[in-house]
Chains A and B, each alone.
Chain A
Amino acid sequence: MSEEVHDWDSHKKTYWAVGIALFVFTFVTLILGIWEPLDLGPPGPTPADYVIGLAVAGTKASLVALIFMHLNHEKGLIYKTLLFTFLFFVSLMALTLFAAADPIVESYDTRETTNGKLTE
């Protein structure tokens, strides 16, 4: 029954710290999103904004996965399972690249266009 006598207090400290970090990162996400001086590049979302926005989200997600979901110390079988998930997920995202290679250039709009760009 009592196979391990754990020091839960140090664990608790970590969990609090992660919780607070998640709150802080949420504020960071919000400020990055709505505060104009932090808007990179021209007004509106640009690739730089996506990268930074998703990097912050990714950091938060890894904190949750590693600490709250105990992935920082887990058995090998779970990592093996998740490796497959990761590969499939990446290829799923990569599928969208085919769209970039084969864009739809005709427009259903009535205005004059050539190669998807307005002629005027």
Chain B
Amino acid sequence: MEIPYEVKPRRDTGLYNAKLGVWLFLASEVMLFGGLFSAYVFLRAGVQEGVDNPWPWGLNVHKGFVWLGFLNTLVLIASSVGVVFAWVALKERNWRKYQLYMYFVVACALVFMCVKGVEYNSKLNKHHGIKLVDNSVMEGAILDKTDRIRFEGTKAVFGLQGAHPAFLKDISDEKFPTFTATVQFKEDEEPIVTEISSESQLKKWFTQHRRIAAKKLTAERTRYRKELESGNAKPVNLNTSATLVSSEPFNVNAKPTKVVGHSDTSVNYRDGSKVEGKLISDDVKFVMHEVDLQLVLPQKQRDSIVWEVIGDDHAKKQFFAKQQEEYKKMREYYEGRGETIPDKMLRGHMLNLHYIDHGDHGHDGDHGDEPHKSEAKHSASEGDGEHHDYITVPRDKIKFMGNHGPRYGNYYALYFTMTALHGLHVVGGALVLLFFTVFGKKLYLKNPEHLANRVEVGGLFWHFVDLIWIFLFPLMYLL
């Protein structure tokens, strides 16, 4: 069937159908992104200085990301220009030129997504932050997943309900330990004992016994309901928990987000499962880049916990020297206008600790593991042989820690939502344009104007994607 008005405009609308369609679609897209931009305005305007997480802005915080964002803006604009010229080439009936321009556009989209990938990787895997209990913030990188609670388990207890027990994923041994699983539904029953030597076996065993437990529970409830009628009901009494005992200790690296609490002898997971054994370490090893005291009152900044954790007087001195410099600049600005400095401006500033000379590096082998308690700095080498100075952060001093992912703050939540949605549009648009380029020849030979119209419509979408980025760049990276 021939679709009408692909080339010729309809008399009542004055447009060919696809064009009206894409404009209606773009109108709805405006509302989709509009909702997110409105969320941006709402959250950003609502930041309470000194109470909420500070909104990261400017080169000071975004550093290399500004340049990546800038590069991406240029790339998208270039691609937008490319799409227009591809369309003009079609109008001039120049297939070769059209194809070249279109491949250029698709290549731009590819570059854009790669740069985005670099940014995401950096935010999600390379940058972490730790907020201490007094709201001072340390920015840097957590070393070797030491945010996890390192634990040596011998026994695990969990319920035979719901999903697989949470600790299962955190077992870090290469060889799965041999477990003896015990379930005893009722006190007067024989316990069911099973030997388990692999993870898949354990999962299978879990599913099986979960089913048995469910059946038994149903039976118990039916009994209880019947007994209620006779007026003499014994309460439901069924033990649906299972115990795993391992022959040799197994290593658990518990993810802190899954854990409710832990002590020297046990780790309690959110799903109710529990591992018993011995705590190896719960200290976080942290490669420090910056200190941020914006959430600490100016008069309390010198006694902040962060200095105790860092244990480096030189760094502290540098921080406050730099802060004084900033204050001086600000004072000059405000006094020049005959005003006093607003309270929020007296907050702390980021300090880059990369440039600080730490003095002596490395360990002295003779001193054993902990030469002096006061020296909080250690040196660790990673797989690539690169040395990092790290500090040890006691877990009880930490209020929050995490990578710069969506849950790190409102800014990051919005950043990831908006740029990821925009990225999806880039991928979708590029695929459509690629389709027109690779498979367009047949249509071009049959009716070049029809293909030109398709490219125009695809191009309209592409320009819209560019248009969104034009706003995202200053809002996310600069302002």
Contacts and interface: CB of A to CB of B under 8 A. Distances in A.
B88 A69 contact: no
A108 to B, nearest CB: 8
Contacts of B342: 42
Contacts of B78: 19
Which 7 A-B residue pairs are closest in the complex by CB-CB distance? A33-B478, A19-B81, A75-B14, A85-B27, A96-B42, A22-B77, A53-B474
Contacts of A107: 48, 51
Contacts of A42: 330, 333-334, 342, 345
B299 interface: yes
Contact of A92 (B38, B57, B449, B464): B38
A42 B463 CA distance: 36
Contacts of A11: 88
Report the contact-size class of chain B (Cβ under 8 Å from the partner).
35 or more
Nearest to B30: A85
A53 B477 CA distance: 11
Interface string A77-120: 11001101100110011011001100110011101010010101
B174 to A, nearest CB: 44
Contacts of A23: 74, 77
Given A15-B81, A82-B27, A45 B57 contact: yes
B471 A68 contact: no
30 contacts: A16-B81, A23-B77, A26-B70, A26-B73, A29-B478, A30-B70, A33-B59, A33-B474, A34-B478, A42-B333, A42-B345, A44-B58, A53-B479, A57-B471, A60-B470, A61-B470, A64-B470, A68-B463, A69-B464, A77-B14, A78-B15, A85-B30, A85-B31, A88-B34, A92-B31, A93-B34, A107-B51, A109-B135, A116-B51, A118-B50
A43 B329 contact: yes
Nearest to B341: A42
Contacts of B80: 19, 22, 64, 68
Interface of A: 1, 6, 8, 11-12, 15-16, 18-19, 22-23, 26, 29-30, 32-34, 42-45, 49-50, 53-54, 56-57, 60-61, 64-65, 68-69, 75-78, 81-82, 84-85, 88-89, 92-93, 95-96, 99-100, 103-104, 107-109, 111, 113, 116, 118, 120
Given A12-B85, A30-B478, A84 B27 contact: yes
B41 interface: yes
A84 B28 CA distance: 10
Contacts of B466: 64
Contacts of B24: 81
A15 B46 contact: no
Nearest to A11: B88
Contact of A100 (B45, B48, B91, B135): B45
B183 interface: no
B51 A1 contact: no
Interface of B: 9, 13-15, 19-20, 23-24, 27, 30-31, 34-35, 37-38, 41-42, 45-46, 48, 50-51, 57-59, 66, 70, 73-74, 77-78, 80-81, 83-85, 88, 91-92, 135, 297, 299, 326, 329-330, 333-334, 342-343, 345, 449, 459-460, 463-464, 466-467, 470-471, 473-474, 477-479
Nearest to B334: A42
A68 B84 contact: yes
B345 A96 contact: no
B477 A113 contact: no
Nearest to A110: B135
A93 B470 contact: no
A99 B45 contact: yes
Given A89-B31, A108-B51, 11 more contacts: A8-B91, A29-B474, A57-B470, A64-B463, A81-B24, A92-B31, A92-B38, A93-B38, A93-B41, A96-B45, A120-B299
Nearest to A22: B77
Contacts of B463: 64-65, 68-69
A43 B325 CA distance: 13
Given A30-B70, A77-B20, A116-B48, A56 B85 contact: no
